[in-house]
């Protein structure tokens, strides 16, 4: 597809996602600017990120360290400078140092060892990373990561005590094949409890292409939307 064709396609899909967000926020009696859209660009090339930037996108999400770091390195410095890069995938602590160099936010923090590794890496890089505690709402840890809900307060304390990290809230993926609302409601309550001790931890990251309306109805502040904007995922190279 020509650059113009791809740009028009991305613009159309971005607009339709923005319309979905606008009508869901209206239906929920929430302000439109209460909800932030993070466009998940995993599997898609740096060129798409640059086109999305031209269309006004400023938050992008990536879930694999190698792919993300290579892609971000390809962007023009002025494009990169405008973007907030969210790391949303499972992360091994031995990759923390690498991720801390290019990510602005790590949404998938789910174990004490990762907190320690990210804090050290951020401090070494003289950066402060915004982090979310990823919560496992399926209860069966189906390989998608996440801390058990009962472990969230201790994780939050640990993050709050880490000089290189800033606790911003909670993140989750809805359990597969189930009504997402009970899970998103639960995440919202976990976020609320977190805010009684950590008032700045206001983010609730929930909702993807298929369930963003449910997430908005349940109070999500951040959506992570990939395929509804970029299209169905090509095979990994
Ligand atoms: C891929 C991914 C998304 C986006 O999913 P879509 O269904 O493509 O919108 C959101 N969150 C996480 C953690 C992901 O890995």
Averaged pLDDT, 184-194: 98
What is the DSSP code string of 51-93?
HHHHTT--EEEE--HHHHHHHHHHS-HHHHHH-EEEE-S---G
Tokens linked to 71: 């892609």
The answer, yes or no, to whether residue 18 has pLDDT greater than 80, is: yes
The answer, yes or no, to whether residue 142 has pLDDT greater than 90, is: no
Averaged pLDDT, 61-84: 97
Best residue among 62, 63, 133, 232 to mutate for probing ligand 1, ranked by most atoms within 8 Å of CB: 63
Write down the pLDDT at residue 143.
66
226 Cβ below 6 A of ligand 1: yes
Strands (E) located in 5-72: 36-40, 59-62
- pLDDT above 90 coverage of the chain, percent: 91
Say which residue the tokens 């970029």 belong to.
230
Distance 7 CA to ligand 1 centre (A): 21
63 Cβ below 6 A of ligand 1: yes
Write down the pLDDT at residue 1.
64
Alpha carbon distance 22, 39 (integer Å): 16
Averaged pLDDT, 80-103: 97
Q: Tens digit of pLDDT for each residue in 146-173?
A: 999 999 999 999 999 999 999 999 999 9
209 Cβ below 6 A of ligand 1: yes
Q: Which residue has the higher pLDDT, 147 or 3?
A: 147
89 within 8 A of 143, measured Cβ to Cβ: no
The answer, yes or no, to whether residue 87 has pLDDT greater than 60, is: yes
Write down the pLDDT at residue 237.
47
75 within 8 A of 50, measured Cβ to Cβ: yes
Q: Tens digit of pLDDT for each residue in 191-201?
A: 999 999 999 99
The answer, yes or no, to whether residue 145 has pLDDT greater than 70, is: yes
Dihedral sign from CA coordinates of 195, 219, 64, 128: negative
42 Cβ below 6 A of ligand 1: yes
Residue 1, SS3 per DSSP: coil
Alpha carbon distance 172, 147 (integer Å): 10
Alpha carbon distance 22, 12 (integer Å): 15
The answer, yes or no, to whether residue 140 has pLDDT greater than 80, is: no
Alpha carbon distance 125, 118 (integer Å): 10
For residue 42, the ligand 1 atom closest to its alpha carbon is 1
Distance 38 CA to ligand 1 centre (A): 10
- Per DSSP, 76 falls in state -
- pLDDT above 70 coverage of the chain, percent: 95
């Amino acid at each position: 597809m020509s650059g113009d064709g791809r740009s028009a396609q991305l613009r159309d899909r971005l607009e339709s996602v923005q319309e979905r967000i606008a009508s869901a926020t209206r239906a929920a009696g929430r302000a439109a600017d209460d909800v932030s859209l993070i466009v998940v660009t995993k599997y898609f090339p740096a060129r798409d990120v640059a086109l999305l930037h031209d269309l006004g996108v400023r938050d992008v999400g990536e879930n694999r360290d190698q792919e993300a770091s290579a892609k971000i390195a390809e962007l023009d410095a002025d494009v990169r400078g405008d973007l907030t890069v969210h790391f949303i995938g499972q992360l091994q602590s031995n990759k923390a140092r690498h991720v801390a160099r290019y990510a602005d936010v790590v949404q998938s923090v789910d174990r004490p060892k990762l907190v320690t590794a990210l804090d050290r890496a951020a401090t070494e890089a003289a950066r402060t990373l915004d982090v979310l505690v990823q919560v496992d709402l399926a209860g069966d840890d189906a390989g998608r990561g996440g801390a058990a809900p009962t472990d969230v307060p201790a994780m939050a304390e640990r993050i709050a005590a880490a000089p290189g990290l800033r606790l911003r809230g909670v993140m989750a993926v809805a359990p597969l094949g189930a009504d997402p609302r009970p899970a998103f409601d639960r995440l919202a309550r976990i976020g609320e409890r977190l805010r009684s001790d950590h008032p700045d931890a206001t983010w609730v990251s929930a909702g993807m292409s298929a369930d963003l309306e449910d997430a908005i109805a349940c109070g999500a502040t951040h959506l992570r939307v990939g395929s509804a904007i970029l299209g169905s995922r090509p095979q990994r190279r």
